[in-house]
Amino acid sequence: MKNIVILTGAGISAESGLKTFRDSDGLWEGYNIQDVATPEAWEHNPVMVQQFYNERRKTVLEAKPNAAHYALAALEEKYKVTIITQNIDDLHERAGSSTVVHLHGIITRSQSSINPELTYPIDGWEIKMGELCELGSQLRAHVVWFGEPVPMIEHAAMICTSADIFILIGSSLAVYPAAGLIGYVDRDVPKYLIDPNIPSVNVRGEVIKIREKATIGVPALVNELLKD
């Protein structure tokens, strides 16, 4: 069975109603990213940061997977599929994909604010101030902030080295270290890029650019791959 590795970014969830960063001039839902998605923001204003992620979680829980998420799940009929996602939503899982690596965490879980390895399911959409981890520290969203280490990156790089086919969907490749993952894919592996604004990539070998929105480009490519 061929091994397909897929790297997704915010663009795949855009048509589910979840806004991307770049399409809103570096703001995220009207907030400057530095003010809500950094350890410094949490240090200065934990109440605001908690509220920001509670609102994002509510929106994620209300959103539904779209045709692109479902098409990727259908690829498992014929391929070994690993999705590496930069997204903090759970739409790949809800569409039925079985192997999803969350590089930047997942907003539907909480995390200890002193030990990122301690994560927990959340009852409902809200983490309340005063809710503590087993070590007695405040719980926060299980997401990787700018300036924090990305614990899954080495695992993700290993997965990329094993790809027979690589697909990038809806990512501007502006956020490192995730943006460097394509560099771990072998030269001879076909690389498909699906995005209305194809990001520039500096890789050797065959690069196939599909300038489409995810809900159009992904099901079309999946149909082709299932025919092969």
CB within 8 Å of 134: residues ≥ 6 apart: 112, 118
Q: Closest distance between ligand NAD and the C-beta of residue 132, in Å?
A: 26
Which residues fall within 8 angstroms of residue 5, CB to CB, at 6 or more apart?
Answer: 82, 84, 159, 160, 162, 163, 165, 166, 167, 185
Ordered DSSP codes for 140-161:
EEEEPPTTS--TTHHHHHHHHH
Q: Please state, as a whole number, how many other Cβ atoms lie within 10 Å of the Cβ of residue 131.
A: 15
> Are the C-beta atoms of 100 and 152 separated by less than 8 Å?
no
Residue 155 catalytic? Answer: no
Cα–Cα distance for residue pair 96/73, rounded to 1 Å: 5
Minimum CB separation of residue 68 from ligand NAD in Å reads: 7
Give 137 or 152: the residue with its C-beta nearer to ligand NAD. Answer: 152
When the beta carbons of 116 and 196 are compared against ligand NAD, the nearer one is 196
Which of 87, 138 has the CB closer to ligand NAD? 87
- Contact residues: ligand NAD, CB under 6 A: 9-11, 13-15, 18, 20-23, 86-89, 104, 170-172, 174-175, 195-197, 199, 213-214
Q: Which of 69, 92, 102, 104 is catalytic?
A: 104
Q: How far is the CB of 2 from ligand NAD (least distance, A)?
A: 24
In whole angstroms, the minimum distance from the beta carbon of 71 to ligand NAD comes to 12
Nearer to ligand NAD, 38 or 172 (CB): 172
Catalytic residues: 104
